[in-house]
């Protein structure tokens, strides 16, 4: 199902919903599933590394409704350090005890009829060993010298891989090594492209090939995501346009609370 006419707010809401669906899938696989509502997704449980506890979705979400959700989450939070995603960059949470962790831009690429078939050198990976090799690359580890690779933790459990709404993509070199990868996730109307990594080779070429592969995995739908810095430039070169900014906020630690020892709870930049 392609989105043929969507204004800016609708596109951002589709991108935010896609991100919320992905967060829900990963958190659920770690036993921290949340609830997707019309205006936001949230989880009352500690999320896995690199994930927020709340993602706003609707452009018309008001501050009172957001504050009610933040109060709900604060009452159940076990860690002083957690984050939320303000998908429309609509709120100033600094006076309420939050620090801006980073800002980024939502991206959008229209469907392309020439991306209907997955083409080499990018493949969709499913085998158990390939899952570990792919995740080793995502962690920035050498995925070819260890059999199986030794991962610091498993970010993407098998339940995430087995979901037909997700496609784990790997770019292979001529020796069959995974040199780049990304995830495509299908949600209503769009396909998200996220967690893109490049171990070796030309990043610009990898971006184009992985974006085309994501479009081929779920044809006929726009691609969405969010990027910043150099990755935003690479996304533009791969055919994406910028929609609007988002912000990720981190709850400010009180002076009497210990510093967190777990990885930062923010989505990958």
Label residues 204-216 b or e (16+ Cβ within 10 Å = b): ebbbebbbbbbbb
For residue 211, pLDDT beyond 70: yes
Q: Residue 260: pLDDT band by 50, 70, 90 thresholds? A: very low
CB-based contact 194:22 (threshold 8 Å): yes
Say if residue 137 is in the same domain as residue 195. yes
pLDDT of residue 76: 75
For residue 151, pLDDT beyond 50: yes
- Residue 126 belongs to a domain: yes
- Residue 1 belongs to a domain: no
* Count of domains forming the chain: 2
Q: What is the mean pLDDT of the chain?
A: 87
**Model-level pTM?**
0.89
Question: pLDDT by residue (tens digit) across 199-209?
Answer: 999 999 999 99
Question: pLDDT by residue (tens digit) across 159-201?
Answer: 999 999 999 999 999 888 999 999 999 999 999 999 999 999 9
Say if residue 181 is in the same domain as residue 85. no
Say if residue 160 is in the same domain as residue 226. yes
Say if residue 133 is in the same domain as residue 237. yes
- Residue 268 belongs to a domain: no
Percent above pLDDT 70 for the chain: 86
Say if residue 59 is in the same domain as residue 96. yes
Say if residue 44 is in the same domain as residue 128. no
- Residue 256 belongs to a domain: no
- Average pLDDT rounded to a whole number, residues 242-264: 67
Say if residue 50 is in the same domain as residue 69. yes
Say if residue 25 is in the same domain as residue 118. no
For residue 229, pLDDT beyond 90: yes
3-state secondary structure 104-137: EEEEEECCCHHHCCCCCCEEECCCHHHHHHHHHH
pLDDT of residue 147: 54
**What is the domain-level CATH number for residue 147?**
3.40.630.30
Say if residue 144 is in the same domain as residue 66. no
For residue 116, pLDDT beyond 60: yes
Q: Residue 143: pLDDT band by 50, 70, 90 thresholds? A: low
Percent above pLDDT 90 for the chain: 71
Question: pLDDT by residue (tens digit) across 38-68?
Answer: 999 999 998 998 899 999 999 999 999 999 9
- What is the distance between the alpha carbons of residues 213 and 74, in angstroms, rounded to a whole number? 40
Say if residue 31 is in the same domain as residue 54. yes
Residue 34 belongs to what domain range? 8-106+245-251
CA angle, 13 as apex, 10 and 17 as ends, to 5°? Answer: 140
Shortest CA distance to 76 belongs to which of 40, 42, 26, 28?
42
pLDDT of residue 5: 39
pLDDT of residue 7: 83
- What is the distance between the alpha carbons of residues 203 and 182, in angstroms, rounded to a whole number? 12
When mean pLDDT is compared across 43-52, 69-78, 114-123, the lowest value belongs to: 114-123
- What is the distance between the alpha carbons of residues 88 and 62, in angstroms, rounded to a whole number? 11
- Residue 2 belongs to a domain: no
């Amino acid at each position: 199902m392609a989105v043929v006419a969507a204004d800016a707010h609708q596109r951002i809401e589709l991108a935010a919903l896609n991100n919320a669906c992905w967060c829900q899938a990963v958190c659920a696989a770690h036993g921290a599933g949340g609830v997707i509502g019309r205006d936001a997704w949230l989880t009352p449980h500690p999320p896995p590394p690199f994930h927020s506890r709340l993602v706003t979705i609707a452009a018309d979400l008001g501050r009172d409704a957001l504050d009610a959700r933040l109060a709900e989450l604060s009452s159940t939070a076990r860690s002083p350090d957690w984050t939320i995603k303000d998908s429309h960059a609509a709120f100033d949470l600094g006076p309420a005890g939050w620090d801006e962790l980073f800002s980024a831009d939502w991206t959008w690429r229209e469907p392309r009829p020439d991306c209907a078939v997955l083409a080499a050198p990018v493949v969709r990976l499913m085998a158990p060993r390939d899952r570990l090799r792919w995740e080793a690359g995502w962690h920035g580890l050498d995925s070819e010298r260890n059999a199986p690779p030794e991962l610091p933790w498993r970010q993407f459990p098998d339940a995430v891989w087995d979901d037909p709404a997700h496609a784990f993509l790997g770019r292979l070199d001529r020796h069959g090594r995974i040199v780049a990868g990304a995830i495509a996730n299908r949600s209503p109307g769009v396909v998200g492209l996220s967690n893109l990594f490049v171990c070796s080779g030309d990043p610009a070429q990898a971006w184009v090939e992985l974006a085309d592969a994501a479009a081929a995995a779920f044809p006929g739908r726009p691609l969405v995501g969010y990027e910043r810095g150099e990755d935003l430039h690479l996304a533009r070169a791969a055919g994406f346009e910028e929609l609007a900014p988002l912000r990720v906020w981190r709850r400010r630690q009180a002076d009497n609370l210990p510093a967190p020892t777990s990885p930062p709870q923010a989505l990958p930049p």
